[in-house]
A and B are shown apart, each in its own frame.
Chain A
């Protein structure tokens, strides 16, 4: 008798674990999911470091010669770099040209020596340009690895931020529509019908035409505002189902407000759907950002993303400089998206209450 009472309480708690714990246990058994999780986590770690400025902060520096070849390829003829170098002296003022002394009329004559001294300081700071870089360089001799990391940072950030906005909008509107029904439902269904009757990519382009300003925030807003419909539909259906369940009625009986019933009582019960759709949207939005940036409606010129890299890579491929293309399209983007998609699939299976 006393032995039963003495049992620590935690033992009872662990006997029935929640849906998240169960899902995590199922996920842990899935080897593909765990490998994907590690890959996604690695990507997140790298872009976190890059966002903090610890790595790839100097991606814009021209550290190599034009189209520096990857180190592992050994010595390769690089005619582009040679021609670029050959072209440079022509731009400079010929040294033997007769210099007319203008110091008496030149208002800058007094400060010129100071400027020249400054310029000399800066000049000496320019390091020798590398003939080859670990994974090659682009047209301006920027390191492809640093550029890919920075590009990944913009693309993944856009994907996540836009997915959060879309999921937030979809969940909020879906909850309102499914919970209240009536005219709220009619109104939101109408908005839903309007948004889904326009093909998604056309809607994105229409928004891009109107916003008319390149920028990270613009892309995120466009994707977020146009991408909420799928989540809305699912969440609305769930709320329709849940609103008449006993636990919600019970909450109503003890005086819980509408707001509390919607977001404290029901929301946790549909959160697994939100999570799965969030990761589906992240994948979709990263792909969309790449296309938008490629078309020139995406990230601003001073930034780089996988899309702008592909845009540059298109012309580089013709002259045989394949490394930027490989780095952006296959080694980074395809790896991340594959891992993310596999993880999403596994997550959906793990969170599906039907599969026990």
Chain B
């Protein structure tokens, strides 16, 4: 186990170097001189000269790469180009709201999707099954934007069930007052693809011999599904959840933009708008790292879910 973990962590290094190379190629060689990028966005000449010096724009590429590598290793990406705040401070401030929104979304969505998909799989082939599948397909076809715009308008503005937007300093108030509407909308959007995915996972399992055996010995169908099939379908469920975990940090950036939630996602959109490269670079590097860690976590959890899985 320990040997496996060490080897997996060791294998992350080339990928991480690749991510750094990609980010470097994009932001240092492809994007060109920051003086040009920032023309019209930052008017102060001295500021731009400062940025150029920090990046080492006039130095050879290998030196620039070394400066960038040092930033990555020390997790110090300098200051934001537009607000001059240190990037690490921006991160510390923005990550809380993103998690406040995304954690409930992930948990509620997973539970709802698994339970509903189980029910649909239970009624497989029936009219209910087909109706649910058609509704899911239609629901998936409507843009996420449409859900947010309509939800904010009808539930927030017209019916006044929720505040239209806003955020406070107290986590409790955020969770009870400001988060419910964005969470509700995101869960609604996630139901369509989620139910479809888990349904196909469960239907794959249902054709196995152990299910037939369980039925043959007279177990009720509900017990077959929720006890036998669910446990055997854990691996794709873990994969799916682990794959959506990086979004816990990045957040549903559209939700953050619409509901004025000061999270990391909104920060990234603003950064793209203002060509604030240090923030985008930092988010990309951190998130790539987090994604790799979550993938490793998923692989370890496979073992917990299924003792037959061996670490090779």
In the complex, identify which listed stretch (B18-26, B49-57, B109-117, B206-214) lies at the interface while the others stay far away: B18-26
Partner of B143, one of A207, A297, A310: A310
- Check if B149 sits within 8 Å of A296, measured CB to CB: no
> Which residue of chain A lies nearest to B15 when distances are taken between CB atoms in the complex?
A193
* B287 contacts chain A at the CB level, 8 A cutoff: yes
Q: How far is the CA of A206 from the CA of B283 in the complex (A)?
A: 10
Whether B273 is near chain A, meaning CB under 8 Å from some CB there, is: yes
Structural contact, A197 and B280, CB atoms closer than 8 A? no
Identify which of A15-23, A165-173, A227-235, A325-333 touches chain B. A325-333
- Chain B nearest CB, measured from A206 CB (Å): 5
Contact B149 A197 (CB under 8 A): no
Q: Choose from B31, B141, B280, B291 the contact partner of A333 (Cβ within 8 Å).
A: B141
CB of A257 closer than 8 Å to a CB of B: no
User: In the complex, are the beta carbons of A333 and B143 less than 8 A apart?
Assistant: yes
B48 within 8 Å of A (CB atoms): no
In the complex, which residues of chain A have a beta carbon less than 8 angstroms from the beta carbon of B291? 197-199
Q: What mask results when residues 315 to 328 of chain A are scored 1 for a CB within 8 Å of chain B, else 0?
A: 00110000001000
Interface of A is mostly: helix
Which chain A residues border B21 with CB–CB below 8 Å?
A: 194
- CB neighbours (8 Å) of A208 from chain B are 272
Is A267 part of the binding interface, using a Cβ–Cβ cutoff of 8 Å? no
Chain B hits for A329, CB < 8 A: 142-143, 145-146, 149-150
Residue of A nearest to B12 (CB): A197
B1-34 interface (Cβ within 8 A of A): 14-15, 18-19, 21-23, 26-27, 30-31
Given contacts A199-B291, A206-B23, contact A212 B15 (CB under 8 A): no
B146 cross-chain contacts in A, Cβ below 8 A: 310, 325, 329-330, 333-334
B292 within 8 A of partner (CB) = yes
B254:A291 contact, CB within 8 angstroms: yes
A306 to B146 CA separation, bound complex (whole angstroms): 11
- For the residues of B in contact with A, the DSSP-based class is helix
Asked whether A212 and B31 contact (CB < 8 A) given A202-B250, A294-B145, A334-B141, the answer is yes
**How far, in angstroms, from A342 to B277 measured CA to CA in the complex?**
40
Q: Which residues of B are found within 8 Å of A306, using beta-carbon distances?
A: 143
Q: Is residue B122 within 8 Å, beta carbon to beta carbon, of the partner chain?
A: no
B145 contacts A198, CB within 8 Å? no
Q: Which residue of B lies closest to A306 (CB)?
A: B143
What residues on B are CB-neighbors of A334 within 8 Å? 138, 141-143, 146
**A203 cross-chain contacts in B, Cβ below 8 A:** 284
Q: Does A295 contact B (CB under 8 A)?
A: yes
Confirm or deny: A209 has a beta carbon within 8 angstroms of a beta carbon on chain B.
Answer: yes
Chain B residue numbers with a CB within 8 Å of A295 are 257, 269, 272
The interface size of chain A toward B, counting residues with CB under 8 Å, comes to 44
Q: How far is the CA of A205 from the CA of B275 in the complex (A)?
A: 11
Does B140 reach chain A (CB closer than 8 Å)?
Answer: yes
Interface residue A337 (Cβ < 8 Å from any Cβ of B): yes
Question: For the complex, is B268 an interface residue (Cβ under 8 Å from A)?
Answer: yes
Given contacts A194-B19, A334-B138, contact A202 B287 (CB under 8 A): yes
B105-149: CB near A (< 8 Å → 1, else 0) gives 000000000000000000000000000000001101111111001
Range class of the B interface residue count: 35 or more
Q: How far is the CA of A318 from the CA of B152 in the complex (A)?
A: 10
Residue A128 CB within 8 A of the other chain:
no
Closest residue of B by beta carbon distance from A287? B143
Q: Is there an interface contact between B247 and A194, defined as CB atoms closer than 8 Å?
A: no
> When the two chains form their complex, are residues A210 and B30 in contact, meaning their CB atoms are under 8 A apart?
yes
- Are A297 and B272 in touch, CB under 8 angstroms? yes
Chain B residues positioned under 8 Å from A325 (CB to CB):
146, 149-150
Specify which chain A residues have a CB less than 8 angstroms from the CB of B37 in the assembled complex: 212
Q: Is A290 an interface residue (CB 8 A)?
A: yes
* Cβ-based interface call for A313 (8 A): yes
**How many angstroms from the CA of A341 to the CA of B153 in the assembled complex?**
28
Instruction: Please give, as numbers and ranges, the residues of chain B lying within 8 Å of A336 by CB-CB distance.
Output: 141
B103 at the interface (CB under 8 A from A): no
Residues of A within 8 A of B22 (CB): 194-195, 198
Name the 10 nearest CB pairs between A and B, nearest first.
Answer: A194-B18, A337-B141, A329-B146, A338-B141, A209-B272, A197-B288, A210-B31, A193-B15, A334-B141, A334-B142
**Can you spell out 8 A-B residue pairs with CB atoms less than 8 angstroms apart?**
A197-B15, A199-B247, A209-B271, A209-B275, A212-B37, A291-B143, A295-B272, A334-B138
7 A-B pairs besides A205-B280, A209-B271 with CB distance below 8 A are A193-B15, A194-B22, A202-B268, A208-B272, A209-B31, A334-B143, A335-B141
